[in-house]
Structure 1
Amino acid sequence: MNNRTRWLILVLVLGVAGVVALWPRDRSPEPPTSNRPAQDVAALRAQAQLRPCVPGGEGGVDVTCLGDGTRTALALKGPILINFWATWCQPCQEELPVLETYAKQPGAVPVVPVLVESREADGLELLARLGVRLPSVFDGADELRKQMKAPMRLPTTYYVAADGQARLITDPLYFSTPEQVEKAVR
């Protein structure tokens, strides 16, 4: 094999590698599913002791209520604070107890944590460990996040006003005190 043939083969291999690397792929994530038996998830639900989800009615996005496993329509009617989080997200783990503390205050806007990019059972375990009892939902198919055109960063929080207008909260990027939450929902 002469040098010209070797160079031709090298160029062809690099060309094929470049095409494979740049070829478009379906980036839609598969909804996470739990490998745990149903009775384990039921036990985790009991351990988490989440407050019941409020049925949203017509026009909402179908999600799973983490507290009891039922499908419910989460309507984007405010005032409400919607918080997207995942179990692997460290700032989310710090923010969830802050949201719980805020939600216990008189006159607080209802807070709905929305679990994404995680397994349902793992979310229940984390909420139980953190002592967060907020009525929480699981958006395994990412439908709510898509409808809200939410950025893929986590945590992501929206304030939905009484007129249905959703406002992305960017200051702060995540809450570290209940006072920050109170200020964001004014």
Structure 2
Amino acid sequence: MSADTARGNTGWRWALAAVIVAVAVAVALWPQFTHTDDKSAATGSTTATGPAEPAVAESDRAAAALAACPLPTGAPVGDSPLRGITLDCLADGRPVDLVAALAGKPALLNLWAYWCGPCAEELPLLQQFSQQAGNALTVLTVHTDQGTAKALSRLSGLGIHLPGVEDPNARVRTAVGAPAVLPISVLLRADGTVAKVVVRPFTSVEDISATVAAELGVRA
């Protein structure tokens, strides 16, 4: 073999090796590029708070015919865990400062969700109890999930007209330290402090009356 031929073969081998190295480097780096792109795409399509809830039609609120949420009374407030929590009223969408609105008399906050079976059985009992209690106590429903329109539809189907608020981030449940179950009833004293967190569904109007009388001193 001549010297020129040997040099030619050596040059060809070096060129082939360079191509192989380049391909190997590209293959090694490719997953990094694609993972970065995938992560960017995921970040662009998903947020910590999830997709924004569509606006609720006023006709849906009107059809539900819910009682208006209570207004601030100016009554003194104690060291309530609900202090600073403002939620939207289901009846008209306006913000409700819970402690300020409920202060002045005892209250029963019922945490529920449109998909909750035991909640659907309990809500009519709470409405009957509220009618018996009259002005002695406020019964307020707290929809503890997203989906205001679904909540309104569920209440309308059940014939429930109690005042209620929307709590998509479960702020009330978190504030009172309740477990992630539904339904839950929070019994508040007149100054907004918590008397009892009831982690079970009520089984009758008498059950509600007895529990409220024992914890809040209100007989209905």
| TM value normalised by structure 1 | 0.74
Match of residue 85, structure 1, among 109, 112, 130: 112
Does 2:209 correspond to 1:182?
Answer: yes
> 1:146 and 2:174 equivalent?
yes
Question: Could you tell me how far apart the structure 2 residues matched to 1:31 and 1:110 are?
Answer: 33
More displaced 10-residue stretch of structure 1: 59-68 or 70-79: 70-79
Aligned-pair CA distance for 1:44: 1.0
Q: Which has the higher helix share?
A: 2
% same residue: 35
The structure 1 residue matched to 2:53, chosen from 30, 34, 45, is 34
Partner residue of 1:48 out of 59, 64, 69 = 64
2:160 partner letter: V
- Residue by residue, what CA displacement relative to the aligned partner does 1:61-101 show, whole Å, maximum 9, x if unpaired? 11000000111111164410011101111001111111011
State the SS of the aligned residue for 2:57.
helix
Corresponding pairs, count: 153
Match of 1:164 in 2: 192
CA shift digits 1:111-155 (9 cap, x unpaired) = 111001230110000011111000100012322222222221100
Inter-partner Cα distance in structure 1 for 2:160 and 2:114: 13
Gaps of 5+ in 2: 1-47, 75-82, 214-220
Give the secondary structure class of the aligned counterpart of 1:82. strand
The residue matched to 1:157 in structure 2 has which SS?
strand
Q: In 1, distance between residues paired with 2:156 and 2:125?
A: 15
Whether contact under 8 Å (1:31, 1:140) holds in the other structure is no
Scaled by the length of structure 2, what TM-score is found? 0.63
Partners in 2 of 1:141 and 1:57 — Cα distance?
Answer: 26
In structure 2, what is the equivalent of residue 61 of structure 1? 85
Higher RCO, 1 or 2 (CA under 8 Å, sep at least 6)?
1
Gaps of 5+ in 1: 1-28
Q: Which has the larger radius of gyration?
A: 2
Q: In the TM superposition, what is the alpha-carbon distance from 1:60 to its structure 2 partner?
A: 4.3
Q: Distance in 1 between matches of 2:158 and 2:132?
A: 18
CA shift in 2, pair 1:56/1:149, >3 Å: farther
